[in-house]
Each structure stands twice: as C-alpha cells, then as structure tokens.
Amino acid sequence: MKYLPYLLKHLRRNWFRTTLTVLAMAMCIFLFCTLQSVLAQINALLDSTSAKRLVVRNSVSIVFDVPLAYGARIQSVPGVERVAISNWFGGSLPAKKEGKSDPGSESSTTDWSNFFNNLAVEMEPFLAMYPEYQVPPDQYRALMADQRGCVIGRKLANKFGWKIGDTFFLESFIPVHRKADGPFEFVVRAIFDVDPVKYSATDQNMMLFHQKYLYEATGRTLQAGTYYVEIKNPDQAGQVSAAIDKLFENSDAQTRTETEKAFAAGFIAMAGNLALLLNGIGVAVAFTILLVVANTMSIAVRERRKEIGVLKTLGFTSGQVMGLVVAESLLIGLIGGALGIAGSRTIMFLLTHAPGLKDMLAGIGLSELPLRPMVAAIGFGVAIVLGFAAGFVPALSAYRARITDMLRTV
Amino acid sequence: MAMVDVRNVTKVYRKDAEELVVLNGLSLQVNEGDYAALMGPSGSGKSTLLNLIAGIDKPTSGDVVVAGTNVAQLGETQLAAFRSHNVGFIFQFYNLIPVLSATENVELPLLLTHLSKAQRRERALTALKVVGLADRASHYPRQLSGGQEQRVAIARAIVTDPKVLVADEPTGDLDAKSATEILDLLGTLNQDFKKTIVMVTHDPRAAERAKTQHHLEKGVLKD
C-alpha cells in the first residue's frame, strides 16, 4: 500500500494517455459484461423451458401453419399427455394507447414501442402444461368463461397499469390475423404470477388469449401455428417426437417436433450462432485491448528507463521494480474494469428502461438484463489478467535492465 | 581503517569479439571519514570505478570492499540491499523523479525500510533541513533551480544515513555559485556528519575541497 501514492502519481504523469488507456480497458470490460449478460439471460430463458414440453411445427418453416386436424392425431400418440394449439398473434397496441375510445379510427397505425409477446392458445390444456403461470382460481374461471378474456403477466399488468376487467385493443401485423372491423378487443380476466425463485427467467411481459376467439373472428380459416405437447415422461421426448413426425411424413404439411428448449434455441439461432458471435467479439476486443495496454506500458517504461535506473541505485531490487511496473498496469486494469462493469450495469439498466427499446427487448423475452455477479466477477478477472499480461513484458525488460545502461539513457 | 578498499580491480566491457579494458588492475583505499576526489580525462574509468564502489556494477576481477562487504561477491538482491543500507549516490543530473515533490523524492529510499509513513516523512523533512531546503519541501523538481534540485538529490542520498556517499560530478551541471553551495554542503556532510565521500570530478576547484585526490588515466591510478 505504501507504493500506491507513487503508482498513482506515475499514472497522473501523462493523464491523457492514462485516461485513454483506462477508457480502452473500460470499453473492453463493458463489452464483455454486456455481451455475456445478454448471453446469460438468453441461456436462462432457454433453461426456463420444460423438458416435458414439445413443440410441433411445420417442417418447412415456422411461418407455415399446421392443419387443425393434426391436434387429435397428436393426442393419440402414445406418451402424449395433452396438446394445445398456439398461434403467435403478433399484435400491437394501436398508436392511441389501449384504444379504448375508438378502436376503429387509429387501427392502421400500431405502437411498436409498446410491443409485447402475445399468443392465441387453447387455454385449458395450455395453462395445464405451464405450471409456471400461477392464476387464482376465480380469475381462471372468469378467463375460461369469456372468449375475449385474456391472461397477462404481472409485469405487463404493472407496466400498463391494467387491472382485472380492463379492456384494450391489439392489432396484428400478420394479415391473416386481422379482422375487417378493426383491432381485437381483449378483457383482462386473469393476471398470472411466477415463483421468482423457481421460475426466475419466465417471461412475465406476455399475454395469452383464446385461440377460438382468433379463429372465429378471422373467418374460421385459421390453422395452427404450432402445437404445444406435454408428454408423460421427459425421457421419451425423442421417441414421442419421432412418432409424431412419422404420423405426418406422407402428408402435405410434414411436421418437425422438438423440445421446447430446442425450439426456443432454434428461434434465437435464426439470428445466427449468437453465442459464437458474441464470444468472438469479446475475445477480439480483449486481445486488441491487451495490445493497446501493453503498448502503453512499453512506452511508459521506455520513457522512464532512467528513473528505473535511479530506483535500482537507491536499493530497489529488480523484482521490486518489476512489481511496480506490473502494479501500475494492474491499476489501469482495475480502474478500467471497475468503470467497465459500472458502465455495463448502467447501459443495461437504461436499455431495459428506455422508452421504445425496453419494449423491443421485452418482446424477445429480455425484459430484464441484470448484470449477474458471476459475469461481473469474470469481467473484473479479465481486467486483472489483461492488466497483468500487458505489464508483464515491459516489467520484465525493466527487471533485466542493467543500472548503468538505464542511467546512460538520455 | 579503510571504508573503501579496491583491490587489483579489472573491469572489461565486451561487445561482440571486441574487449575494452576500462580498469586495469586498479587498487585504491579510502579511509573512514575521508573525502576523496577521483580525477582524470574522459574515458579514464572514473565513473566505472565509482559505480563499482557504489555497488551498481561488478568488477570483472578483483575485490571491492566497502564498509566491510566485498561487493564483488554479492548477488543482485544482496547488492540492492547493500546499496540501500550503505551507499548514497549523487548524480550529475540530479535524477529526481519529476512527478514527486521534494519530500517524496527524499522519502523514496525509505520506502524500502519498515518505517511508518509519519516516520518516513519526518526523516525526509530532517534531511531537507540539513541541505537547507525545508521551505521547498512541497515543491516539485520543475519548480526548483538546478542547485536546489541537486540539494534535494543530496538529501535523498543521506536520508538513510549511509556510510559512504558517492558523487558523480555533482557540480558538473551547475553554475559557479550553485556549485560552491553544493561543495560547501558536501564539506559539511564530511566534516560535521562524518560521511565518507568519494567524488568524481573534472573541476579542479571541486577537487581542492577534497582531502585526498586520485588521478586515473586509461584505467590505472596515477597517484
């Protein structure tokens, strides 16, 4: 500790260079923490899926439907507990929020900034296979009794201030999910809660409504987007999936059945190999910063050759001098790391709270982007390793240098 | 009793296949409390000899015994400890650390001791008082004149109370008035504080202040 003031004074010697180096380090750790937090949150979302649930979709693409007649046949497959139709509605609030006043007048303009995930489902079997969603019995009964009724997550309710009995309008951007007389009207009949410990990553910024409502309002021509299937034994997921797909292999609409986790991962993978991309960016940035800091430390040591000679003359051992150089570099790493972590935490807070952005993120299940302690700890560790590695080579040259050579430096 | 005893020392620098003999079988004794001046033309080996006495370089052959320790036989870490305990080095160009104040510069060698912060500060201020710069304690090197900088460098050299002070042309970068002040100070350290001083100088007036003078030429002591 007694060397700390000495180190700080040296860092202040060329404050502009030090500031830039610290900022470079901070940027590196900021990117690392932010990217890893996004990855961690996505992984948590994937982990929140159940191994007992399968998703059946059209084998060509998720954008193609599956015939409604498939439901009963899937139910007949051995090992299947229950089946629920699901259509991703893609609905947004009309520009005039909630649209309570006049649903028709503003229907052509949607408010994308307030987008949230909404699904038309066969309510009874769907909720039965999702024990995560805790709905009070009286609200459940009211929900089942009202075709326009919907159930929303607690966070979504809090976000818009919606209470039981409130109505709002949604209009889909998908043509077959629109009806001629304007947006769909929904009544909040239930609000679900989630066990924060058991199902911490479950999305609560979402809404479920009756598939029958969508089906009837759109002229009874709508097919199923996907089928959610609950199986009796998670260990039989492979066999059951294969059996379902075998049922339809000679039909016009062949199916692809996979676990809910694989389905969700495939959805995310539509953006490419996200983990590889984000980790690749992180490694590239870290390596670049290593070179930047190492270069800075090399310059700093070269500029101070004479001083290093003086320190050794005064009785500092080569090891102590090396330690001072490494400590200076470590200090840059520590300050940069702390700034980077603080910056990451701040930016993720802003992203998940900024109007517009927060809703976009919520739409893909990232309503929260917490900086996990483990990510912050690893980020700090990376900063320390980078600081040490960057200072080591210049420190080694200071260690090896002879006093008389150092003192002769002009 | 000899505080510095240089016995048959040879120093050879090698560069590729070429050998440069800087000191050639040189022997020299400086007694405790002595004030010795080493003189000679450039390249005669004065500074090399001083570096050997100060323990910042090692001879190719021969012995350099300073304060009872044979410097030639010490390892790198032992040499560092030897320097911090026994030798105060005064450079021609002061070599103060620019980002540190006068007090902090003087305090620097004390960081190697177990003294507390307050004790270090007290000793540094005492050393600055000895060289007459107590009122410049918080000044930085850029705020001091050349003579004042050299006095801070002398305070740094004496703050650990070393047995030997080695000075490499301490007045070489100073005007006449400042040079006189520095020589007066060195004289005081020798007379009043009983420091053994070995000083390299080109300046005959500086050499006159010393009690003994030694002349080197081509690595050999002439008298």
β-pairing verdict for A226-231 and A255-259? unpaired
Q: Rounded to 5 degrees, what are φ and ψ at A10?
A: -70, -40
With a cut of 90, say whether residue A274 has pLDDT above it.
no
Residue B20 sits at the chain A interface (C-beta within 8 Å):
no
Radius of gyration of chain B (CA): 17
Work out the mean pLDDT of chain B and round it to a whole number.
92
With a cut of 90, say whether residue A352 has pLDDT above it.
no
Which pLDDT band, with edges at 50, 70 and 90, does B11 fall under? very high
pLDDT for residue A223: 93
Total domains in the fold of chain B: 1
Greatest Cα pair distance in chain A: 93
Q: Does residue B222 or residue A247 have the better pLDDT?
A: A247
Q: Which residues of A touch B109 (CB under 8 A)?
A: 314-315
pLDDT for residue A42: 80
What is the number of other CB atoms lying within 10 angstroms of the CB of residue B211? 15
Beta-carbon separation of A13 and B98 below 8 A:
yes
Q: What is the DSSP string of chain B?
A: -EEEEEEEEEEEEEETTEEEEEEEEEEEEEETT-EEEEE--TTSSHHHHHHHHHTSS--SEEEEEETTEEGGG--HHHHHHHHHHHEEEE-TT----TTS-HHHHHHGGGGGS---HHHHHHHHHHHHHHTT-GGGTT--GGGS-HHHHHHHHHHHHHTT--SEEEEESTTTTS-HHHHHHHHHHHHHHHHTS--EEEEE-S-HHHHHHSSEEEEEETTEE--
Beta-carbon separation of B111 and A306 below 8 A:
no
Paired strand residues for B157 = none
Give, rounded to a whole angstrom, the gap between the first and last alpha carbons of chain A. 31
Best to test chain B binding among A6, A13, A311, A314 (most B CBs inside 10 Å): A314
H/E run at residue A357: helix A357-363
DSSP 8-state assignment for residue A189:
E
* B8, HSE (Cβ side, Cα atoms, 13 Å): 2
Q: Rounded to 5 degrees, what are φ and ψ at B208?
A: -60, -25
Residue B80 lies in a domain: yes
H/E run at residue A300: helix A274-303
Q: Which residues of A361-380 are buried (b: 16+ CB within 10 A; e: fewer)?
A: bbbebbbbbebeeebbeebb
Which chain B residue shows the shortest CA-CA distance from A406? Answer: B56
Residue B8 lies in a domain: no
Question: Per-residue pLDDT tens for A173-212?
Answer: 899 999 888 899 999 999 999 988 888 778 888 999 999 9
Are A126 and A86 within 8 A, CB to CB? yes
β-pairing verdict for A117-121 and A206-210? parallel
Q: What is the DSSP string of A19-43?
A: HHHHHHHHHHHHHHHHHHHHHHHHH
Question: Per-residue pLDDT tens for A36-75?
Answer: 888 888 877 777 777 789 999 999 988 899 999 999 999 9
Are A224 and A68 within 8 A, CB to CB? yes
With a cut of 60, say whether residue A277 has pLDDT above it.
yes
Q: Say how far apart CA A27 and CA A22 lie, in whole Å.
A: 9
Q: What is the mean pLDDT of residues B172-176?
A: 88
Beta-carbon separation of B81 and A404 below 8 A:
no
With a cut of 70, say whether residue A342 has pLDDT above it.
yes
Are B200 and B47 within 8 A, CB to CB? yes
Q: Which residues of A10-25 are buried (b: 16+ CB within 10 A; e: fewer)?
A: bbeebeeebeebbbbb
Question: Per-residue pLDDT tens for A79-113?
Answer: 999 999 999 998 988 755 444 444 444 445 556 66
Residue B18 lies in a domain: no
Domain ranges of chain A: 4-46+273-407, 65-252
Are A240 and A54 within 8 A, CB to CB? yes
Question: Per-residue pLDDT tens for B93-147?
Answer: 899 999 999 999 999 999 999 999 999 999 999 999 999 999 999 999 999 999 9
Are A28 and A198 within 8 A, CB to CB? no
Interface of B with A in 36-75 (CB under 8 A): 51, 54, 56-57
With a cut of 70, say whether residue A271 has pLDDT above it.
no
Beta-carbon separation of A404 and B57 below 8 A:
yes
DSSP 8-state assignment for residue A193:
B
Q: What is the mean pLDDT of residues A371-390?
A: 90
Beta-carbon separation of B84 and A314 below 8 A:
yes
Q: Could you tell me which of A5, A20, A2, A4 has the C-alpha nearest to residue A299? A: A20
Q: Say how far apart CA A219 and CA B60 lie, in whole Å.
A: 103
Residue B80 sits at the chain A interface (C-beta within 8 Å):
yes
Give A194 to chain B, closest Cα distance, Å: 57
Residue B5 lies in a domain: no
Are A49 and A84 within 8 A, CB to CB? no
Domain that holds residue B53: 32-60+69-221
DSSP 8-state assignment for residue A195:
-
Question: Per-residue pLDDT tens for B67-97?
Answer: 999 998 999 899 999 999 999 999 988 999 9
A60-74, A256-270, A294-308: least confidently modelled range: A256-270
pLDDT for residue A110: 59
Residue B16 lies in a domain: no
Are A240 and A231 within 8 A, CB to CB? yes
Q: Amino acid identity of B19?
A: E
Task: Give the CATH number, domain containing residue B36.
Answer: 3.40.50.300
Q: Say how far apart CA A2 and CA B155 lie, in whole Å.
A: 20
pLDDT for residue A246: 94
β-pairing verdict for B35-39 and B212-217? parallel
Q: Amino acid identity of A224?
A: A
* 3-class secondary structure, A280: helix
Q: Is the dihedral of CA A330, A336, A342, A347 positive or negative?
A: negative
Residue B89 lies in a domain: yes
With a cut of 70, say whether residue A285 has pLDDT above it.
yes
Best to test chain A binding among B69, B74, B95, B159 (most A CBs inside 10 Å): B95
Give A338 to chain B, closest Cα distance, Å: 25
pLDDT for residue A263: 81
Q: Which residues of A touch B57 (CB under 8 A)?
A: 402-404
Q: What is the DSSP string of A58-117?
A: ESS-TTS-B-TTHHHHHHTSTTEEEEEEEEE--EEEESSGGG-S-TTTTTTSEEGGG--E
Q: Could you tell me which of B183, B195, B5 has the C-alpha nearest to residue B88? A: B195
CB nearest B99 (choices: A10, A312, A316)? A10
pLDDT for residue A104: 45
Residue B77 sits at the chain A interface (C-beta within 8 Å):
yes
Interface of A with B (CB under 8 A): 2-3, 5-6, 9-10, 12-13, 306-307, 309-320, 402-404, 407
